[in-house]
Structure 1
């Protein structure tokens, strides 16, 4: 039986994500674990998370899950969500600078605070529903209309250096990468498990994706 492994490194509410994956996985099973050996047996992996890159990398390294992610990213379908997307880049500007996993060239940067005299003050963190523009075709978008609404909660965002890696974008003061992809990896800045029917469709597409 096919299995989806959710990487548990202690950062994030995995209950809602696990339940969402169970709903869309059909005959597959969902394994939430911090055991590298158990996760490597899964057919595809999900790297979720909320919080900051520094603490994320610290916990991944402590549990030896950073090596698991890099190794699995060479062959297994992999999905990053929110912090799980950010940590896939090379570097985060948080806390004076933090090296990350390096699966995508680029860095993670903070939304700037607007000037005091700005006509419209956009709050940081960026929190709530926002449209996502599909920048290129990909099986993960199957059945999902362009400019669909998804739910975001973040103060930092990914800035990939390779434009071809940007799968979707959103606008918050300026346009930023809301989804990235290459080879067998896809990642979202937003939370599909909190994005109602279209978010569930994205998760379902991931469970059937054969890169």
Structure 2
């Protein structure tokens, strides 16, 4: 690969991933992390490496032991990008996907599988919390704040709550003293 091409590949990543994107995937912020990462990747036209649509060329030229220059270029870019993507992971996630470090696409698929399952579980837990949460002895402000936090957590997880559902769950969690308001 020429020096210019390597410089162009590395340029968007700078000396530190944190200069590009301050969001590190920690398991609870998959949707936010993904939303920050994908535009950066598409903007530099590296999405083929990530999604597996830019296939690795054969390592050797036809029937020889000479290394294919297209393979060298693809492999170099993929490894730089793999390191960059790995650098966007918090330690708790990185430790769970270390074995998938041979290509950018393999790492991406492992992250999506791991966090997709976590995300579905988080959505279920927060939906249950939203439906079961009660005001109890809290002030109205504390109660409303907590309901909003649960709703926001669902939105971040990619499963936003409609205003109608939030109002319904909030009213259902009020004590009997609020019955005149709830029954209106």
Same fold (TM over 0.5): no
Answer with 1 or 2: which has the greater Rg: 2
Higher strand residue share: 1
Q: What TM-score, normalized by structure 2, do the two folds share?
A: 0.21
Higher helix residue share: 2
